[in-house]
Amino acid sequence: MLYLLYMAGFFLAKIMPIRVCYAAAERIGRLYAKFAEKDREGLRANLKVVLGEDVDETVVDKHTAAVFKNFAKYLADFFKFPRFTERNISGNIELEGRKYMDECLSEGKGLILLSLHLGNWELGGAIVGGLKYPISAIVLEHTSKRVNGFFIRQRAINGLRSIPIGGRIKECFELLKRNEVLAIVGDKDYTSSGIYVDFFGKKALMPKGPAVISLKTGAPIVFCALVRKKDDTYKFCFEKPIRFKSTGDHNEDIRALMGEYLAIFEKYIRENPDQWYAFRKLWDQEEITQ
């Protein structure tokens, strides 16, 4: 059933103008928000931490509704993926800080391109591929093989290869050794191997994979985010590279490196709370004291 819904969305997105797709997506997003109680409550709990525990409930409601609307637009963009070229990227996407990718790759150690579930990370990976960078992404596989295959094919349109979470870690090391780009979305732990770190002033379980891989390979980390602007165009931001020098204390190095990029996560989430798609409660009150 889920596969048929995706195929219906894919077909409609292909034949409808993008503005019509967005209008339909907004309506679907509002409808889904009414029935997705678990997602809605998880999102509200997360937004209260980001916006401040004393934030007015009407403000939380407003941001919650905006997140569902923007997430529906994110899916519309994913369904409508074009084959990107450098020309149409430069004409339609505002790029800021691309030089940091080139700077890191000139060092020959590969590049970890780190993002979070904000804006449109899938489209961001496609754009990097369209710019002819050799890029692979660590992705969460869908339980439906047909849905999973659809997502893999959509990513591959622009040369983005998919590496399943929890497996083929050797492949990640090999592609960095070949001086390629490894894309990771780093704000949700899917493997139960994460660690509790400070995030927005509270303890949250976060994946340590990006830090571990960077320390193991010496590959620098560049945070990036493709952020939707008010007119539904995008700005693709790349932050200055994080090059971490090991102290010899592996566990402390992991925490220190995570702290550097989590501070960037916080900055972007605070600036764009309506585009952070955190539908599962991130801060477990029972674990906050750990």
Does residue 127 lie within any of the structural domains? yes
Whether residue 102 is found in the same domain as residue 31: no
- Whole-angstrom Cα distance, residue 251 to residue 245? 13
Domain end point (choices 32, 57, 80): 80
Whether residue 135 is found in the same domain as residue 252: yes
In tens digits, the chain (290 residues) has pLDDT values of: 556 667 777 777 778 888 999 999 999 999 999 999 999 999 999 999 999 989 999 999 999 999 999 999 999 998 888 778 888 887 889 999 999 999 999 999 999 999 999 999 999 999 999 999 999 999 998 888 898 998 899 899 999 999 998 767 899 999 999 999 999 999 999 888 899 999 999 999 999 999 999 999 999 999 999 999 999 999 999 999 999 989 999 999 999 999 999 999 999 999 999 999 999 999 975 444 44
The pair of three-digit structure tokens given for residue 1, joined into one six-digit string: 């059933």
Does residue 173 lie within any of the structural domains? yes
Whether residue 143 is found in the same domain as residue 87: yes
Whether residue 36 is found in the same domain as residue 164: no
Does residue 38 lie within any of the structural domains? yes
3-class SS of residue 101 = helix
| DSSP calls for 228-289 | EPTTS-EEEEEPPPB-PPP-S-HHHHHHHHHHHHHHHHHHHHHH-GGGB---S--S-TTTTT
Whether residue 198 is found in the same domain as residue 139: yes
Domain end point (choices 30, 45, 80): 80
Residue 172 per-residue DSSP state: H
Domain containing 39: what range? 1-80
Whether residue 51 is found in the same domain as residue 162: no
Q: What is the CB neighbour count within 10 angstroms for residue 219?
A: 30
Whether residue 61 is found in the same domain as residue 109: no
Does residue 286 lie within any of the structural domains? no
Whether residue 127 is found in the same domain as residue 238: yes
| DSSP calls for 212-237 | HHHHHH---EEEEEEEEPTTS-EEEE
> Please, what is the Cα angle at 267 between 234 and 203, to 5 degrees?
130
- Whole-angstrom Cα distance, residue 289 to residue 287? 6
- Whole-angstrom Cα distance, residue 170 to residue 217? 11
Does residue 124 lie within any of the structural domains? yes
Does residue 39 lie within any of the structural domains? yes
Residues 243, 112 contacting (CB under 8 angstroms): no
Whether residue 100 is found in the same domain as residue 134: yes
Whether residue 106 is found in the same domain as residue 152: yes
Q: What are the start-end ranges of the E strands in 140-201?
A: 160-164, 181-185, 195-199
Whether residue 245 is found in the same domain as residue 261: yes
Whether residue 19 is found in the same domain as residue 89: no
Count how many domains the chain has.
2
